[in-house]
Structure 1
């Protein structure tokens, strides 16, 4: 095996190990992560874990007692959704440093990732790199 290829493999394995360690650490952090959101009128507080499960609902004030059932129901739904959104954003922020450039973890988590566009970009980059390697310079076509 040539020395440059060996060095590239060593670098790739070192990067893979770094990412494995970072993912393991993140997994441990997320296992205990929770967020609590309190409604604006302080009638309800909802706690959500990193998997999006409701772990606790509290009524910090007596305000819920004077609310009509549909109003309280709507407040619960809204507060649960706010808590889930906050937890998803916090989780995505933790993944940002591990994601390849240009990849938004929040888009990935919401299912808004354009995989076809990612593959086209990767192929374009790979082809440009091959052209550069073959000629010893950057391909002038811009691709």
Structure 2
């Protein structure tokens, strides 16, 4: 193997190691993350974990006692959906730097993440629609 090829391979391995470490750091940071949200009518408070899972449900000030079943259900769903959307945005923000091209001498591409597949309906209506990774957007531009 030529010296130039060995150098490129060494650089690529170093970049790969850096990406793996950054992913591990992001996963560690997010493993304890949560979002606590109150419904607009302030009758329901939910806490959502990093994967959008409901981890706590509270009824502050007992406002729910004066609500009908459908009103309470709507408040719970509203708060859970907003909590899932907030956690999805936080996860996207943490992982976004990893989706860019490395900029290193090897020109390795960033990690391609399908946000729609990862979060599904949690992203509906946020930021004017669903975010896409740069690679998927690039593919769509070339199709036009």
TM-score with structure 2 setting the length? 0.72
Greater CA drift, 109-118 or 50-59: 109-118
Residue of structure 2 equivalent to 1:80: 80
- Which 4+ stretches in 1 moved above 6 angstroms? 114-117
Q: Which structure carries more relative contact order (alpha carbon 8 Å, separation 6+)?
A: 2
CA distance in 1, matches of 2:10, 2:64: 61
Residue of structure 1 equivalent to 2:118: 109
CA distance in 2, matches of 1:25, 1:95: 10
Report the count of equivalent residues: 122
Q: Secondary structure at the match of 1:61?
A: helix
Per the TM alignment, residue 19 of structure 1 is displaced from its structure 2 partner at its CA by 0.6
Residue of structure 1 equivalent to 2:106: none
C-alpha change, 1:117 and 1:95, in structure 2 (3 Å) is closer
Residue of structure 1 equivalent to 2:15: 15
Is 1:57 the counterpart of 2:50? The answer is: no
Is the Cα contact below 8 Å between 1:96 and 1:105 reproduced in 2?
no
Greater CA drift, 106-115 or 62-71: 106-115
C-alpha change, 1:99 and 1:117, in structure 2 (3 Å) is closer
Deviations 1:42-65 (A, max 9, x none): 111110101111100011222211
Per the TM alignment, residue 30 of structure 1 is displaced from its structure 2 partner at its CA by 1.6
Is the Cα contact below 8 Å between 1:95 and 1:105 reproduced in 2?
no
Q: Which runs of 5+ in 2 are unaligned?
A: 102-109, 121-129
